[in-house]
Amino acid sequence: MTYLAADRARLVESIDTFGAMSEQDAGPGITRLAYTPLERAAHDVFAESMAALGLAVWVDAAGNTLAERFGAGGAKPAIGTGSHLDSVPNGGAFDGIVGVCAAMEVARLFVEHDVSHRHPMRFVVFAGEEGARFGQACTGSRIAAGLTGPADLPVKQDADGVSLADAMAEVGIDPTAVGDARWAPEEWAAFVELHIEQGSVLETEGVKLGVVDSISGSTRLLIRITGRATHSGGTPMHLRADAMAAAAEVVSLVESLAGGDDNEGTRTTVGKIDVGPGSITTIAGRASLWVDVRGTDVDRQRNTAREIIRQGAATCARRGVGFEYEQLADTPPVRLRDTLREQLAASCRDIGVEPRVLTSGASHDAQQVNTVTPSGMMFVPSKAGISHDAAEWTDMDDITLGTTALAGGLLRLDASLP
């Protein structure tokens, strides 16, 4: 089987270019949050490189950037690949970026080798994939899939109280017009996303490539606990309404409600707490907790979130503090199509790798896109399974291998899809 070998040096250059784009003074790693000028600047880098190849490039109404290489087969639906360029605060240089750099490299390979494909090939960068800023993940791809619309944007806020609608407007995107970004299913034949694993299955088993069978869902809550801020010395223990102590108990509760040992189980996390007024000599009067419940079983995922609310409210009532919650996001898990996965696995075998079939614990744009067109995912290993941190790392050899397999997978789909 012949295949197009990805160029490692070009991939290194692309990864390094995006790796140099982080907010000034933001600390270690990459900070390039959703719907910021820096995220737009990263999309511009992608757009310029695709335009330089002669591809048609456009930015849709949600801020997703797309590039198309025309197909030789007449009016056929497109096959797409890509990922995202935004990050979490102090995130790594690979999450999302690998899939975009791989898409750029596949475009270069197709142009350089004058590859003829029957379907149009689209290279896509989704906007605002990370839920870190607004709670809801995958904003650009959800809009493309029709899962998020104009009415959702004013109500999602970041930690500074900036709404998603206002953040979009600030970078030149009209939040009332995002409906225009919706993908028409008849325009698409398939979508494939290459991503880092963000777990340690591949590394542990010494396998270089993974193909994904299902992607976890997530239900996210913001819990607000209200106590009474008062003097830490003057207030006897039995007269306190301590929001910090209640929050600690709720954090333990959240952890205790997880189920299962691997990514097929339900995973529960409090990743952020904000407590006030924040003085060593004052009992905390308020605490906010951001809770993320992930699972591959939608009922278990949602029931766990409901249990957190029920038992959390009871804990707070017992402690004499107020309890309120808001659901920030709710995305069900998806099972990806076996037929598409088989083509991607065959492409891995074409280059001598038997891929590991595995479940994604993280959310991805492909999860949203799968509601419009059959989607597949390929994984490359994450060192020590670390992600969403500056220590995130994937070897360039693995990224190069994954990109080669991606190019082959797209061509296999081009040959097999009507």
Binding site for ligand GLV (CB under 6 A): 130-131, 137, 362-363
Residue with Cβ nearer ligand GLV (126 or 183): 126
Residue with Cβ nearer ligand GLV (312 or 333): 333
Of Mn ion, ligand GLV, none, which one does residue 363 interact with (CB within 5 to 8 Å by kind)? Answer: ligand GLV
Binding mask 36-75 for Mn ion (x = CB under 5 A): ----------------------------------------
DSSP 190-256: EEEEEEE-SSSHHHHHT-S-EEEEEE-EEEEEEEEEE----BTTTS-GGG---HHHHHHHHHHHHHH
Residue with Cβ nearer ligand GLV (137 or 270): 137
d(CA 289, CA 12): 39
Whole-number Cα distances in Å, 227 to 116, 153, 224, 283, 371: 66, 31, 10, 9, 43
Residue with Cβ nearer ligand GLV (22 or 363): 363
**By C-alpha distance, which of 228, 317, 313, 236 is closest to 276?**
228
**Within the chain, how many helices (H) and strands (E) appear?**
11, 13
**Whole-number minimum distance, CB 51 to Mn ion, in Å?**
25
Residue with Cβ nearer Mn ion (266 or 367): 367
Residue with Cβ nearer ligand GLV (319 or 383): 383
Of Mn ion, ligand GLV, none, which one does residue 251 interact with (CB within 5 to 8 Å by kind)? Answer: none
**Whole-number minimum distance, CB 368 to Mn ion, in Å?**
12
**By C-alpha distance, which of 33, 203, 43 is closest to 132?**
33
User: Using the 8-state DSSP alphabet, how is residue 6 labeled?
Assistant: P
Residue with Cβ nearer Mn ion (365 or 414): 365
- CB-CB contact of 111 with 412 (8 Å): no
Tell which one of 60, 86, 95, 297 touches Mn ion (CB under 5 A).
Answer: 95
d(CA 84, CA 255): 30
Which residue's Cβ lies closest to Mn ion?
96
Q: 182 exposed, middle or buried (CB, 10 Å; 0-12, 13-18, 19+)? A: middle
**Whole-number minimum distance, CB 157 to ligand GLV, in Å?**
18
- Residues 98-157 interacting with Mn ion (rule: CB under 5 A): none
**Whole-number minimum distance, CB 232 to ligand GLV, in Å?**
36
Q: Which two tokens stand for residue 165?
A: 């609608």
Q: Tell me, rounded to whole angstroms, the distance of Cα 263 from its chain centroid.
A: 16
**By C-alpha distance, which of 119, 135, 3, 128 is closest to 373?**
119
Tell which one of 96, 210, 333, 374 touches Mn ion (CB under 5 A).
Answer: 96
- Site size for Mn ion (CB under 5 A): 2
Of Mn ion, ligand GLV, none, which one does residue 152 interact with (CB within 5 to 8 Å by kind)? Answer: none
Contacts with Mn ion, residue ranges (CB under 5 A)? 95-96
